[in-house]
Structure 1
Amino acid sequence: MTQSAAAHKLPATPRRLDPEDAQHALAEVQERLRRQQLVADLVHRQEEGDAKANLVEDLVHRQHEAELKTLLDGLHPADIAFILESLPKDERQTIWKLVSPEHDADVLLEVEDWVRESLIEAMDRQDLVAATGNMDADELADLAPDLPPDVVAEVQKGLTEEERAQLLEAMGYPEDSVGAIMDFEMVRVREDVTLEVVLRYLRRLHELPDHTDQIFVVDRQDKLQGILPLSRLLVSEPETEVRAVMNSDFLTLNPLDSDADAAGAFERYDLVSAPVMDDQGRLIGRVTIADVVDVMREDSQEQALSRAGLQEEDIFAPVSTALRNRAPWLLFNLCTAATASFVASQFEGTVSQIVILAFLMSIVAGIGGNSGNQTMTLIIRALAMGRITGRNLWQLVKRELFVTLMVGLCGSLVAALFAWAISHSIAIALVMMAAMICNMLVGASVGVLVPMVRARFGKDPAMGSSVLLTFATDSLGFFIFLGLATLFLL
């Protein structure tokens, strides 16, 4: 029986705050930094070389630092990470210097990637080695891409052969794979021992690895034979052998599986942990619910940013960085908007004769875009969950078009009544009704096709999808509405 590694422990003193308390702590930090800056500004207004003013500034600065350090020492690393992510870079570095060295490793693991890079840049080599020296192999693998190579090499010297092999293995898997998020902390037992022996072994451990809900049963070649839930261990007779009560029907993951697929399995089967096996059936790690929650959160954030054509960035990043991130899709959006305006300009004669059309065509475009956005959101989520296949694709397309048609019929009646009320023309109301139904169908079609085509070519189905949808529903919406008006109203 072996435990692959000691559980990584968080500091015992700090406590986790709820979101409101974390925001309150952030407000306190910002207030103390503001007061410190006010004192510095007052001193700078004094005559240059005023020793008394400089002494006052130094004393106040030390007092503020002491208060900030006391506040930070009472926080959980996750809450310190939240504060660092919410501060501009200069203030972030000031606070980072006050964080206790014993918390450095945990904070680096908690912060977002774009903050972690700036924190690591502010640390010297010795501090980095000290912060990462006690990390587990899977945690070190998470940070390795952001660490200087010489620091990684120095930390590797302090690892055991087993830990070094685990680190190299974890670093060798693709970023979005199960192997990249699995950890090596787990309890393993043999199937030919009694539960009493297992219980005695567990009592000798300082603590169980986080999220341990089951013990893995392996043979002498580390091939997984079954799992022993802790609940079954506690309620079964101590004299019973492990093989008699272990569960041989269990879900396993491969290190090359997608982390999104693993997250879907955890959600579907209400898992707390799952073993990871290589192609030879050997147990090489496990994935826990904590890892899966991080994957779900990151995927959700990436999807929300992708739909607007954005990549993750520091909210306090320099303007040049923000421009490089946002400008391409905004320029593309400008081109699409110009195209829509050009389409509308081709019907200048129609609009000049029936001015009311200029007020109604924005409704047609807007409703088509909203309808398509609903369809697109459902499709992107279904793709993320793996629910769309070649067999059900056409059925899904027909369903979305039918639903959109039914909703369009109901909504277009309301729109037609509105158009009649302000124009007193049955013909305009009917054109409005037909154009809205057609544009809603356009929106639904684009909402299905754009994510599906991007996914088919291995691209992020959410990237820029809203921009493309707006382009289609605006341009075609104006064309359909003004084209029908030209045909039937002039």
Structure 2
Amino acid sequence: MNQILNEEQTHPEMVVETTSAELLEQVVADLEAGNQEAVSQKLEEAHPAEVASLLEALPPEQRSELWEKVPTEQGAEVLTYLHEEARASIIDEMDEGELIAAAGTMAPEDLAELIDELPQDRGNMLMEALDRDHRGRLEAVLNYEEESAGRLMSTDVISVRADVTIAVVLRWLRRHERLPPHTDSLMVIDESGLYLGKLDLGEVLTSPPERLVGVMMQSDAVAVRACMNEHEVAMLFERRDLISVAVLNQDGLPLGRITIDDIVDVLREEHDRALLSSAGLSEEEDLFAPVLPSARRRGLWLGINLITIFAAAWVIGRFEEALDKIVALAVLMPVVASMGGIAGSQTLTLTIRGLALDQIAAANVRWLTSKELLVGAVNGLVWALAVALISYLWFRDPGISAIIAGAMLLNLLAAAFAGVVIPLLLDRWGIDPALSGAVILTTVTDIIGFLSFLGLASLFLL
């Protein structure tokens, strides 16, 4: 008979995560109530990324007050999660001692980003304060261009020789107090240090101890050069479902590795850049920045938009006589421009996405342009007939119905062409299409829409 023993079982206390919005409300309430102990406790329990999110969500006065309560040992990591403008506002309040202490615990790739944002004199001071080993690793990272694999990589790696056994590898790993974060594999090198492949940790744990590393390693493992653009690295991770990848110099020597958490940051930054650029904002725009700097940055974009609006208004002004004689033209004029803008925006968005995913090259541009023109022609015919019918039922004028149908078709064709060509030209000129593509496209579709509609009306109705 089986005997069942009833023993008192203890379970670890379950930790229920608080949402960012809830945490923000709690911290703000504690700050306003002067409950300093509750604020300090919440900061100690929160992840550095959550603390960074809290700091970015507070006005300058409360941000400074909260930063003073961030634990010293947590401060450096919190700085790495902050966006540039919010981080700059905090660093401006730090004295040299605080900044040096934080820099001393930062990874070289994070510290390189910080150094680039500091004034030159303060950056040089920080470099000189680092120990020789940390400074050497930092200088190695700074040698690479921004947004390259060399800047993105972590130099904290573990490598093993191909001619040793799994037992030797296990003994080597046990000598480490901890493995580098997100370690899923070990780099395999030869006697001269050249990269040969990678050895998955799963293989280390499950393979016979006497098996050689060279037999178990993946010699076809993907590796990237340090000069490779970080966007291309991100696309490589997406295509190959990678967790980490080795970074090599031109001679094939391993320099570091890039892990999936680095790629998540790259993709998030690209998404933020595309979203904010469409409104003329910097990806580092601080939501709680002071009024005047925010107004100055946004004012420039408003000025550019004003110029494009006046350009469209000038075209309308050239047809003042036609508008005076035929009131229906003024009523229907926005329809043509609006439809062209919407159709062009669809093509523009798809083209920018294709450029971001490296799906567009010289070999397929002509096919893409032809396809979008055909789409524009089909939609143009369908909606031109629809608008013509509505116009006829409204104004009982077949001439106006025919004119708006022709203008609609012309503008949708122009919108399709512009939606492909504008981002391609901007990309070739080194300008981010997401930043100015929409403004240029809207200007083109407005001018062509007004010009075609009012021009045809002037020719055939006056």
**TM-score, normalised to structure 1's length?**
0.86
Equivalent residue, structure 1, for 2:422: 450
d(CA) in 2 for partners of 1:297, 1:410: 39
> What's the CA shift for 1:478?
0.8
Which moves more between the two structures, 428-437 or 77-86? Answer: 428-437
d(CA) in 2 for partners of 1:17, 1:361: 54
Q: 5+ residue gaps in structure 1? A: 1-14, 37-60
Does 2:17 align with 1:22? Answer: no
> What's the CA shift for 1:335?
1.6
d(CA) in 2 for partners of 1:337, 1:343: 10
Matches within 5 A, 1:12-411: 17=17, 21-33=19-31, 35-36=32-33, 61=34, 64-147=35-118, 148-149=122-123, 151-157=125-131, 159-160=132-133, 163-311=134-282, 312-411=284-383
- Partners of 1:260 and 1:295 within 8 A in 2: yes
Which moves more between the two structures, 274-283 or 318-327? Answer: 318-327
Deviations 1:91-117 (CA, angstroms, capped at 9, x unpaired): 111111111111101100011011111
- Partners of 1:308 and 1:467 within 8 A in 2: no
Does 2:438 align with 1:440? Answer: no
d(CA) in 2 for partners of 1:413, 1:102: 68
**TM-score, normalised to structure 2's length?**
0.91
- Partners of 1:186 and 1:286 within 8 A in 2: yes
Partner SS state of residue 223, structure 2: coil
d(CA) in 2 for partners of 1:349, 1:378: 39
Aligned-residue sequence identity (percent) comes to 39
- Partners of 2:127 and 2:135 within 8 A in 1: no
Question: Quick one: structure 1 residues 220 and 17, their matched pair in 2 at CA, closer, same or farther if it must change by over 3 Å?
Answer: farther
> What's the CA shift for 1:431?
1.9
Equivalent residue, structure 2, for 1:42: none
Aligned residues: 445
> What's the CA shift for 1:151?
4.6
Which moves more between the two structures, 347-356 or 117-126? Answer: 347-356
- Partners of 1:412 and 1:437 within 8 A in 2: yes
Question: Quick one: structure 1 residues 104 and 358, their matched pair in 2 at CA, closer, same or farther if it must change by over 3 Å?
Answer: same
- Partners of 1:17 and 1:79 within 8 A in 2: no
> What's the CA shift for 1:410?
2.3
- Partners of 1:308 and 1:465 within 8 A in 2: no
Amino acid at match of 1:389: A
Which moves more between the two structures, 428-437 or 76-85? Answer: 428-437
Equivalent residue, structure 1, for 2:5: none
> What's the CA shift for 1:375?
1.0
- Partners of 1:132 and 1:140 within 8 A in 2: yes
Which moves more between the two structures, 277-286 or 231-240? Answer: 231-240
d(CA) in 1 for partners of 2:358, 2:258: 20
Amino acid at match of 2:123: P
d(CA) in 1 for partners of 2:336, 2:220: 55
Amino acid at match of 2:21: Q
> What's the CA shift for 1:468?
1.0
Partner SS state of residue 188, structure 2: strand
Question: Quick one: structure 1 residues 131 and 361, their matched pair in 2 at CA, closer, same or farther if it must change by over 3 Å?
Answer: same
> What's the CA shift for 1:317?
2.2
Equivalent residue, structure 2, for 1:471: 443
Amino acid at match of 2:243: V
Does 2:461 align with 1:481? Answer: no
